Amino acid sequence: MAGSSAAGEDVSMASAVQRSSGTGSGGDMSIAMEQGVQPAGSFDQWKNDTDLKIAGLVTRQAQLMEGQAQLMEGQAQLMEGLATVQQAVMKLQASQQQG
């Protein structure tokens, strides 16, 4: 008997896991109701909070990527400026050697 009740618990646990891993909050809500727990919007609140955090992270990532692009553009401009300075130095050295 002990083996059959353990097997029954495994089956009910497996079905609970299947329901909870479903999409949306329906699975979580049905488990809470089966257990006699009234969901007080805690899952919905958590989901909303999580969605807001994710949106904030996505926004921040976009800002960081934009900043990185600006830094790369600035680096390219600095390299162009350095090349211009190097050319000017070479011309100055050449003119001093001739003079």
**Using CA atoms, how far apart are residues 60 and 70, in angstroms rounded to an integer?**
15
Domain identity same for 52 and 96: yes
**Are 20 and 65 within one domain?**
no
Total of domains in the chain: 2
Helices 26-34 and 2-20 pack at an angle, to 10 degrees, of 140
pLDDT tens-digit series, residues 71-87: 999 999 999 999 999 99
Q: Are residues 9 and 51 in the same domain?
A: no
Domain range enclosing 48: 42-99
Which amino acid, one-letter code, is at 70? Q
Per residue in 17-51, pLDDT (tens digit) is 555 545 454 555 566 556 655 556 789 899 999 99
